[in-house]
Chain A
Amino acid sequence: MNEKLRNIFASVLDIPLEEVTDELAYGQHDKWDSMSHMMLIADIESNFDIMIDTDDIIDMSSFAKAQEIVAKYESE
């Protein structure tokens, strides 16, 4: 799951895979703004076939947090 998620982040944010670390954070990287956040959510939902709640969309503030959230939905 983590590699698939890393690829989504790298592709949507248009950054090298090496930059997709747990510390990658929303609002702190130039490429991860509100528009790319929405694109990330859309891509994650279609690739993992899940629908993420608003609270989790808001909480997805780092790549580490994104892994936790996607794992939670995959286990449901």
Chain B
Amino acid sequence: MIATKLHGYAIELHQLTHDDMEQVFSWRNQPDVRANMLDDKPIAIAQHQAWFSAMLKSDREAHYKIIVKEKEIGVVNIRANTALSDASEAEIGIYIADNDYKGNLVAFSPSLLLIDYAFEELGINALGSVVKAENREALRYNEVLGYTLAPTDSQGLIKIRLTPDAYITATKRIKTFLSRS
């Protein structure tokens, strides 16, 4: 059973439901959000609805809306090639759609919360992802979390990887700042 709600580091994560379909469609189509996706083409509503419905039923992924001070600001998700409850490796993705919170320290909170959950509760051994080499902001963000970066491949993509030990070491300080009362 995957957690439907997580809270900590000054935020809450609520698993997406059918009620969030339109909001997420709007966010996913924001040009600044699409620009950082591997597939950055505009998304049609039918395509989104099909993806959203399949996502809600899947046991291989969980998507959460990010809530800061009762304001919904974006989405963070975790995906694996098998059921999340059995997975040893997974991928975490995030987008902040609200400009007020982009680049803010609190933008790290959703990742911290979900990575804690992945390593401590789901028993994931490593997290990996692929980022566009031109997306320096995302690469820097992930380095702060402890991800290591592979060299850029021929398609201009960089594989990134995070182990529990590297994560714990890298995030000690940021966690103390985001965990105070």
Contact = CB atoms under 8 A, between A and B. Distances in A.
Contact of A38 (B68, B104, B173): B173
A61 B140 contact: no
Interface of A: 26-27, 33-35, 37-38, 41, 51-55, 57-58, 61
Contact of B181 (A27, A34, A53): A53
A58 B140 contact: no
Q: What DSSP secondary structure best describes chain A's contact surface?
A: helix
A57 B108 CA distance: 13
A55 B10 contact: yes
Nearest to B144: A34
A37 to B, nearest CB: 6
Give the secondary structure class of B's interface: helix
Range of interface residues on chain B?
A: 20 to 34
B103 A33 contact: yes
A27 B174 CA distance: 17
Contact of A54 (B107, B144, B181): B181
B54 interface: no
B177 A54 contact: yes
B181 A58 contact: no
Given A38-B174, A58-B10, A53 B105 contact: no
Interface string B152-174: 00000000000000000000011
Nearest to A61: B104
A34 B105 contact: yes
A37 B102 CA distance: 14
